[in-house]
Structure 1
Amino acid sequence: MSTTLDTDLPAPVPAAAPPVPPDEAGAAPTASARARGPLPVGRARTIALLSLFLASTMELLDTTIVNVALPTIESGLRATDTQLQWMAAAYPLAFALALITGSRLGDLLGRKRVFVAGLVGFTATSAACGLAPTAEALVAFRAVQGVAAAAMIPQVLSSLQVMYRPHERARAMGMFTGLAGLSAVLGPVIGAVLTQADVAGLGWRAIFLVNVPFGLAAVAAALRWVPESVAERRPRIDLRGVVVLALGLLGVLYPLTLGRELGWPAWVYAAMAAGVAVLVLFGRAQWRAERAGREPLVATSLYRGRGFAAGSTMNALLFASMSSYFLCQTVYLQAGLGWSVLRAGLAGVPFALTTTVFAGVGVAVLAPRIGRRVLQIGALTWAAGAVLIGVAVHGADASTSLWAFLPGFVVAGAGFGLMVSPIGVFTLADVPVDKAGSASGLFSTTGQLAGATGVAAVGSLFFSVAQAHASSSPVEVFRPAVEASLAVLVGLMLVAALVARALPRHPLVTAEAAGVVADAD
Structure 2
Amino acid sequence: MSTALDTRRSAEAAAAAATKAAAAPKGLLPVILTATFMTALDVFVVNVAVPSLQGDLGAGPAAVQWVMAGFSLALAAGLVTAGRLGDRYGRRRVFALGLALFTLASAACGLAPTAAALVGSRVAQGLAAALMGPQVLAILRTAFSGAAQARAFARYGLTMGVGAVFGQLIGGLLIRADLLGLGWRSCFLINLPIGLAALALVRRCLPESRAPRRPGLDPVGVLLVTLGLTGLVLPLIQGPGQGWPLWTGLCLAASLALLAAFAVHQHRTTSTSTESTSAESNSAGSNSAGSNSAGSNSAAGNTAPLVDTRLFRSRAFSAGLLAQLAFWLGQASFFLVLALHLQLGRGLDALGAGLVFTAIGLGYLLTSNTTHRVTARLGEPRTITVGGLLMAAGLGLLALAAYGAADGGVWWLAPGLFVDGLGMGLVIAPVTTVALAAVEPGLAGSAAGVVSTVQQVGGAVGVALIGLVYYGAGDATAAFGRSVTALAVLELVLVGLVRLLPRASGREAGRS
Q: Do these two structures clear the TM 0.5 threshold for a shared fold by scoring above it?
A: yes
1:172, distance to aligned residue in structure 2 (A): 6.1
Q: Indicate conservation of the 8 Å contact 1:30/1:161, yes or no.
A: no
Q: One-letter code of the match for 1:218?
A: A
Instruction: Identify unmatched segments of 5+ residues in structure 1.
Output: 1-16, 21-28, 470-475
In 1, Cα distance between equivalents of 2:311 and 2:140:
25
Q: One-letter code of the match for 1:369?
A: L
In 2, Cα distance between equivalents of 1:510 and 1:40:
22
Please give the TM-score of this superposition, normalised by the length of structure 1. 0.76
1:386, distance to aligned residue in structure 2 (A): 1.7
Matched with 1:324 is 333
Distance 1:65-1:385 versus aligned 2 partners, 3 A rule: same
Matched with 1:350 is 359
Matched with 1:413 is 421
Residue 122 (str. 1) matches residue 102 (str. 2): yes
Matched with 1:191 is 171
Q: State the secondary structure of the residue aligned to 2:97.
A: helix
Q: Indicate conservation of the 8 Å contact 1:67/1:326, yes or no.
A: no
Distance 1:226-1:74 versus aligned 2 partners, 3 A rule: same
Q: Indicate conservation of the 8 Å contact 1:252/1:275, yes or no.
A: yes
Distance 1:116-1:417 versus aligned 2 partners, 3 A rule: closer
Instruction: Identify the match of residue 454 of structure 1 among 448, 458, 462.
Output: 462
Q: State the secondary structure of the residue aligned to 1:506.
A: coil
Matched with 2:130 is 150
Instruction: Identify the match of residue 482 of structure 1 among 475, 480, 483.
Output: 480
Identity of aligned residues (%): 40
Matched with 1:270 is 250
Q: One-letter code of the match for 1:268?
A: T
Matched with 1:364 is 373
Q: One-letter code of the match for 2:95?
A: F
Matched with 2:291 is none
In 2, Cα distance between equivalents of 1:148 and 1:239:
20
Matched with 1:3 is none
Distance 1:132-1:279 versus aligned 2 partners, 3 A rule: same
Matched with 2:271 is 291
Residue 239 (str. 1) matches residue 219 (str. 2): yes
- 1:3-18 equivalent positions in 2, closer than 5 A: none
Matched with 1:131 is 111
Q: Indicate conservation of the 8 Å contact 2:379/2:506, yes or no.
A: no
1:180, distance to aligned residue in structure 2 (A): 4.7
Q: State the secondary structure of the residue aligned to 1:125.
A: helix
In 1, Cα distance between equivalents of 2:352 and 2:446:
41
- 1:9-408 equivalent positions in 2, closer than 5 A: 30-31=16-17, 46=26, 50-70=30-50, 87-133=67-113, 137-156=117-136, 179-180=159-160, 182-184=162-164, 186-222=166-202, 231-293=211-273, 295-365=304-374, 368-369=377-378, 372-394=381-403, 400-408=408-416
Please give the TM-score of this superposition, normalised by the length of structure 2. 0.78
Q: One-letter code of the match for 2:325?
A: A
1:145, distance to aligned residue in structure 2 (A): 0.7
Q: Indicate conservation of the 8 Å contact 1:86/1:139, yes or no.
A: yes
In 2, Cα distance between equivalents of 1:508 and 1:168:
15
Distance 1:418-1:223 versus aligned 2 partners, 3 A rule: closer
1:103, distance to aligned residue in structure 2 (A): 3.6
Q: State the secondary structure of the residue aligned to 2:273.
A: coil
Q: One-letter code of the match for 1:418?
A: L
Distance 1:286-1:333 versus aligned 2 partners, 3 A rule: same
Q: Indicate conservation of the 8 Å contact 1:425/1:510, yes or no.
A: no
1:194, distance to aligned residue in structure 2 (A): 0.6
- 1:419-430 equivalent positions in 2, closer than 5 A: 419-428=427-436
1:498, distance to aligned residue in structure 2 (A): 2.0
1:491, distance to aligned residue in structure 2 (A): 3.0
Matched with 2:493 is 495
Q: Indicate conservation of the 8 Å contact 2:395/2:484, yes or no.
A: yes
Q: One-letter code of the match for 1:420?
A: I
Task: Give the helix-richer structure, 1 or 2.
Answer: 2
Distance 1:155-1:314 versus aligned 2 partners, 3 A rule: closer
In 2, Cα distance between equivalents of 1:47 and 1:250:
35
CA deviation digits over 1:97-128, x for unaligned, max 9? 32343343344334444333222210111122
Q: Indicate conservation of the 8 Å contact 1:351/1:409, yes or no.
A: yes
1:60, distance to aligned residue in structure 2 (A): 3.4
Distance 1:371-1:200 versus aligned 2 partners, 3 A rule: closer
Distance 1:77-1:480 versus aligned 2 partners, 3 A rule: farther
Q: One-letter code of the match for 2:383?
A: V
In 2, Cα distance between equivalents of 1:173 and 1:262:
39
In 1, Cα distance between equivalents of 2:395 and 2:247:
35
1:233, distance to aligned residue in structure 2 (A): 2.4
In 2, Cα distance between equivalents of 1:184 and 1:136:
26
Aligned residues: 473
Distance 1:65-1:496 versus aligned 2 partners, 3 A rule: same
Q: Indicate conservation of the 8 Å contact 1:107/1:235, yes or no.
A: no
Query: Bigger shift: 158-167 or 429-438?
Result: 158-167
Q: Indicate conservation of the 8 Å contact 1:428/1:436, yes or no.
A: yes
Query: Bigger shift: 159-168 or 85-94?
Result: 159-168
1:228, distance to aligned residue in structure 2 (A): 5.5
CA deviation digits over 1:428-486, x for unaligned, max 9? 56656765664344223311221233234434654x438xx5xxxxxx5x434333432
| Rg larger for | 2
Q: One-letter code of the match for 2:126?
A: G
